[in-house]
Amino acid sequence: MSGELKRGLEGVLVTESELSFIDGDAGQLIYRGYAIEDLARDASYEEVLYLLWHGELPTSSELDEFSDELAAHRDLGDGILDVARELAEQDESPMAALRTLVSAMSAYDEHADFEDVTDREVNLEKAKRITAKMPSVLAAYARFRRGDDYVAPNSDLNHAANFLYMLNGEEPNEVLAETFDMALVLHADHGLNASTFSAMVTASTLSDMYSAVTSAVGTLSGSLHGGANANVMRMLKDVDDSDMDPVEWVKDALDRGERVAGFGHRVYNVKDPRAKILGEKSEALGKAAGDMKWYEMSVAVEEYISGEKGLAPNVDFYSASTYYQMGIPIDLYTPIFAVSRVGGWIAHVLEQYDDNRLIRPRARYTGDTDLDFPALDER
């Protein structure tokens, strides 16, 4: 087969989308025309979901109705709780548990096997249920594995605050709730990243939305996609435990041939705009707690790597210390990424269904041809 080979499909255009735009040279991220900086500052996660799924920001009444509908789907039945409890007892990893739970959720959705998988109204209802329940199943699993009981959702709290409540059993303060809501906004969509593309490939076969989201969760679990922020925090803790200067620790790590997590990006050639915003939040949380250690350590590492290696931090670099200062267990960082990104996954799946064509690329064959087939006793 002739044509230029593009390993990893880098730079290949496979579709058109109205959802998000990335300028990797300018460090710009846009959701449906709105700069990420404006959305992070002024929009809730619910508003961003509405924007991604409906193409415009909601009015006040539309937002209230949409938020109420999401909240109404948060609670979990005994069946899915039993699955979460069993996964926790089996010590399943958080991302594998989330993948299994998302798939299992379809068994408790009467519309999961609706005959026309492209029906937009049915899919929007599925979208609300999936997005509302993903934080709930993750919180339930996290509580079960540490021996705690399930905490039922609080309909008076927004999407972000309710997750922290279901995870910790107490309402978060305003600073924590606002910070987590902003983190969800920042992670909601990011073009055709690997997990989004896998969801689209699944949807393009006219498989259902639960299958598409399950595919995306499985893709996100890979170390080259999700997990970088958890690795960043483990690195920072290693630096702290070593009692070494952060820069000296990084120099030693590089001399050993190790990579420093949280730097570089397939799309951005400059600092990830989301990293700038989360860096400010990490600093604010440190000041509020009276402990600037994690933020200052992160800045020292960033300045050295940027100056010596010419690499800029990505969104994972500062989300690590932000989540850690919020008391979130490190191995939940990637599942939380999924809890946010599901909004973007679903938006792209809806776009795929609206103008579907089976995604079926080809490979250049490099094997043998015209071999003579030997009889079994001659091999």
Using left for φ > 0, alpha for ψ between -120 and 50, and beta otherwise, residue 59 falls in: beta
**Buried/exposed code over 144-181 (b: 16+ C-beta within 10 A; e: otherwise):** bbeeeebbebeeebbbbbbbbbbbbeeebeeebbbbbb
| CA dist., res. 56 & res. 360, Å (int) | 31
CA atoms of 216 and 370, how far apart (whole Å): 39
Contacts within 8 Å (CB) and 24+ apart, 214-219 = 214/99, 214/102, 214/103, 216/338, 216/341, 216/342, 216/345, 217/95, 217/98, 217/99, 217/102, 217/338, 218/99, 219/194, 219/195
Give strand pairing partners of 29. Answer: 22
Active site includes 265? yes
Q: Catalytic one among 109, 181, 189, 316? A: 316
Segment holding 151, helix H or strand E: none
> Are 136 and 74 spatial neighbours (Cβ–Cβ below 8 Å)?
yes
Phi, psi of 249 (to 5 degrees): -60, -45
Residue type, position 238, single letter? D
d(CA 272, CA 352): 27
Q: Is 207 helix (H, G, I), strand (E, B) or coil?
A: coil
Identify the active-site residue in 159, 187, 190, 265: 265
Q: Catalytic residues, which ones?
A: 265, 316
